[in-house]
Structure 1
Amino acid sequence: MATTRPDKTLDVRDIDGPPFEDIMAALSSLESDERLRLVAPFEPKPLYEVLEARGFAFESEQRDDVWHVHIERA
């Protein structure tokens, strides 16, 4: 995966309720060469299968108590 800075950021820590629909909307708006940085208060493991099934590649890392998942089209 590219190590360049993501083009868009979605911080789900401020979303009231489950963030799944917000994440899917952000991903559907990505251009083919854009990336999304998802910021979450926990590792979004259930999301990983969905991303793979929908043709996305991702890398995740934990910094302090926050997870950063970098997502792009595979």
Structure 2
Amino acid sequence: MATERNETGRRLDIRGIDGEPFGDIMAELEALPDDETLLLLNSFEPEPLYQVLEERDFQYETMSGGSDVWYLEIRHE
């Protein structure tokens, strides 16, 4: 797993992680500057993450990219 940076923020693809990726996601969010976004790629809709994001004052938008990829764009409120 590697975090990539682009012109709008960071990109984290967790589809290939063995085990629980929650710690990796939280580490990226803690390091996320206020003016950047994190694009999270997952193999399923990350519904359990939504409440955690709301509790930590993040906004998010979820998009399906087909049967095997979901995109979650996360930013500070």
Instruction: Please give the TM-score of this superposition, normalised by the length of structure 2.
Output: 0.86
**What is the aligned length?**
70
1:69 pairs with 2:68: no
Q: Which runs of 5+ in 1 are unaligned?
A: none
1:37/1:70 contact within 8 Å kept:
yes
Q: Distance in 2 between matches of 1:30 and 1:61?
A: 21
Q: Distance in 1 between matches of 2:8 and 2:22?
A: 20
Query: Where has structure 1 moved over 4 Å in runs of 4 or more?
Result: none
Q: Which runs of 5+ in 2 are unaligned?
A: 1-6
Instruction: Please give the TM-score of this superposition, normalised by the length of structure 1.
Output: 0.90
Backbone CA RMSD of aligned residues: 1.1
Q: Relative contact order (alpha carbons < 8 A, sep ≥ 6): 1 or 2 greater?
A: 1
Q: Post-superposition shift, 1:6?
A: 3.9
Q: Distance in 1 between matches of 2:33 and 2:17?
A: 23
1:6/1:70 contact within 8 Å kept:
no
